[in-house]
Amino acid sequence: MTSRIILQLALSGLSIGSIYALVGLALVLPFKASGIVNFAQGEIVTFGAYLALILTGLGLPYLAVVPLVLIGAAAFGTVIERLLIRPIVHQPEFTLVIVTFAIGFIIKSAIRLHWQDNTFSIEAPFVGPPLVLGELRLNPAYLVYIATTVLVVVALLFFFGHSKFGKAMRATAIDPIAAKLMGVRIGSVFSAAWALSTMLGASVGLLLAPVIGINPEIGHLILKGLVAAVIGGFTSLGGALAGGLLLGLLETYAGAFFGATFKNLVPFGVLILLLLLRPQGLAGASSVRRV
């Protein structure tokens, strides 16, 4: 096993890991704001991909489709939050988990009704022959994935660190009642968290669609995002990023060294082990409510 192969694997591990990280971030955001994990997030990814399919069908180029899909996803997220999530936000966790699951199920079946199980493809400028750099072959899509994720994380850190609304969101995450008393409109904070997270989800759809094609099963990716978020402890953005990258690397190396069976077992093995041994995630600030 030469160092070239190790590097090559690291690159593909990081690129797939950055996709997992984006899904993980999309799961962590609304959880931090309102304590709800959106199990429909996978279908939001699917939604983004199909919205891109519709818009490219109208003859728009990929770069024009991107902002439109993001706006559409933000609107979709806000509507879901206002209509379906807010009325039940004080129900037991059982209801919350199953409701978001049901939302995802409904989106998926609606998509399947219209497009069946066919796989569609769309064009994007970053799909092309690999760039050769010395001994390494770089798939341009991989570079776009990693760059997008870095950009998103920097933007989020800036937003939460420096903008007024970002600070209000952080305050709400720490203590909603105190934030409300300080004049934060926590209703808008919840909506914004959902809009942001659905935008992230849809951006994953946008990134994946040109490379792996569009079909109703893209949403299955949510499992990897969940694992990424759990590795990071479910409450920290940096943790979700690190978790996603770590999972991507683990999966790629496991696949390369021990075969596909082992690769498929890795994410769920990691998930169960972590939840049972260290539910606060690898990084650790514990906020798991134990009973």
3-state helix, strand, coil in the chain (%, to 5): 75, 5, 20
Spatial CB neighbours of 280, under 8 Å, sequence gap ≥ 6:
233, 286, 287, 288
Instruction: Please tell me whether residue 110 binds another protein under the rule CB under 8 A.
Output: yes
**Binding piece for another protein, criterion CB under 8 A, among 86-94, 127-135, 162-170, 182-190:** 86-94
Q: Which is nearer to another protein, 5 or 88 (CB)?
A: 88
Instruction: Please tell me whether residue 276 binds another protein under the rule CB under 8 A.
Output: yes
Instruction: Please tell me whether residue 91 binds another protein under the rule CB under 8 A.
Output: yes
Instruction: Please tell me whether residue 5 binds another protein under the rule CB under 8 A.
Output: no
Closest distance to another protein from the beta carbon of 238 (Å): 20
Cα 284 from Cα 280, distance rounded (Å): 5
Spatial CB neighbours of 239, under 8 Å, sequence gap ≥ 6:
28, 229, 231, 232, 233, 281, 282, 283
Q: Can you tell me which of 230, 231, 237, 240 binds another protein, judged by CB under 8 A?
A: 230
* Residue in 142, 106, 111, 105 with CA at minimum distance from that of residue 127: 142
Instruction: Please tell me whether residue 289 binds another protein under the rule CB under 8 A.
Output: yes
Instruction: Please tell me whether residue 290 binds another protein under the rule CB under 8 A.
Output: yes
List phi, psi (to 5°) of 134.
60, -120
Q: Can you tell me which of 14, 25, 37, 169 binds another protein, judged by CB under 8 A?
A: 37
Instruction: Please tell me whether residue 101 binds another protein under the rule CB under 8 A.
Output: yes
Instruction: Please tell me whether residue 87 binds another protein under the rule CB under 8 A.
Output: yes
**What tokens were used for 221?**
């990716």
CB contact at 8 A, 194 and 23: no
Neighbours of 151 (CB within 10 A): 10
Q: Which is nearer to another protein, 123 or 217 (CB)?
A: 217
**Binding piece for another protein, criterion CB under 8 A, among 46-54, 65-73, 91-99, 128-136:** 91-99
Q: Which is nearer to another protein, 158 or 268 (CB)?
A: 268
Judging by beta carbons within 10 Å of its beta carbon (0-12, 13-18, 19+), is residue 251 exposed, middle or buried?
buried
Binding stretches for another protein (CB under 8 A):
37, 39, 84, 87-88, 90-95, 97-99, 101-103, 105-106, 109-110, 112-113, 223, 226-227, 230, 261, 264-265, 267-269, 271-272, 275-276, 279, 288-291
